[in-house]
Amino acid sequence: MCGRFALTASPEELLELFGLLKVEDFPARFNIAPSQPILIIVASERAEPGSNLPDRKAMLVRWGLTPGWVKDPRSFPLLINARAETATEKAAFRASMRHRRILVPASGFYEWHRPPKGSREASQAYWVRPKNGGIVAFAGLMETWSSADGSEVDTAAVLTTGANKTIRHIHDRMPVVIPPEEFTRWLDCRTQEPRDVADLLAPAPEDYFEAVPVSDKVNKVANTGPDLQDEVAPIASILTKGASADREKDDGQLTLF
């Protein structure tokens, strides 16, 4: 799964990568958590013939998708992730897969290697980032939930798939990454049905990410400094188990409600 990520890129970097006309200025965020506002990229409305306006735009939504048919979101689970393999079959995600696919910019994400239940070993956090730096675009889904009084909340989830070899010793899932050359196809919900973009829902190439062990300070939402990404010595038992596996094969969250 993907339960925390960071976005530390400048607005100028986002404008260039995603071909945007504008994006609001914002501070670097080192510990983005579920239920907090996140930046997403969506396809713009169809432009008039001859228009030179960009075909993408940025907006803020709440991280945690709420389907439009939910009556009371307070009694509905927070859907921060959607399994790419089954999203088109699930009532919560089916409409979004067809009509509201998005990109979620990130500088990387955090993942935890958790020991078996009953073990006295501690969990090890990792900062997973593109090996060559830069911005990564996660595949996501968006839904707008409307209340009885007419107010609306835009919400989103990140699509995940099976982990590649780089991540598998930490966790068996990872976010789906959309490469820049496929941004347009992924966002095009007018002509590209879910079956037409199914090939994009694959693990990232083995050499795309690197996993850096970090301290457990990232566990607390209140910790938001760049020191969260400082490398630490990993737990020795995790290194041993990870190598063996390769050979064999919160609280305090913000809300927009």
In order of start, what are the domains of the chain with their CATH numbers? 2-108+134-209 (3.90.1680.10)
DSSP string, 140-201: EEEEEEE-TTS-EEEEEEEEEEE--HHHHTT-SEEE-B--GGGHHHHH-TTT--GGGSGGG-
Is residue 2 flagged as an active site residue?
yes
Mean per-residue pLDDT, 76-104? 97
Q: How confident is the model at residue 235 (pLDDT cuts 50, 70, 90)?
A: confident
Segment 67-71 shows an average pLDDT of 92
Asked whether the predicted pLDDT for residue 42 surpasses 60, the reply is yes
Most confident of 18-32, 92-106, 229-243: 92-106
Please tell me whether the overall predicted TM-score, pTM, comes out greater than 0.85 for this model: yes
Residue 144, token pair as written in the block: 């707008």
- Please say if 111 is a catalytic residue: yes
Query: What is the mean predicted confidence (pLDDT) over 66-82?
Result: 93
Coil, strand or helix: which one is 241? helix
Q: Which residue has the higher pLDDT, 151 or 227?
A: 227
- Choose the catalytic residue: 48, 111, 121, 182: 111
Q: Are strands 152-162 and 56-63 parallel, antiparallel or unpaired?
A: parallel
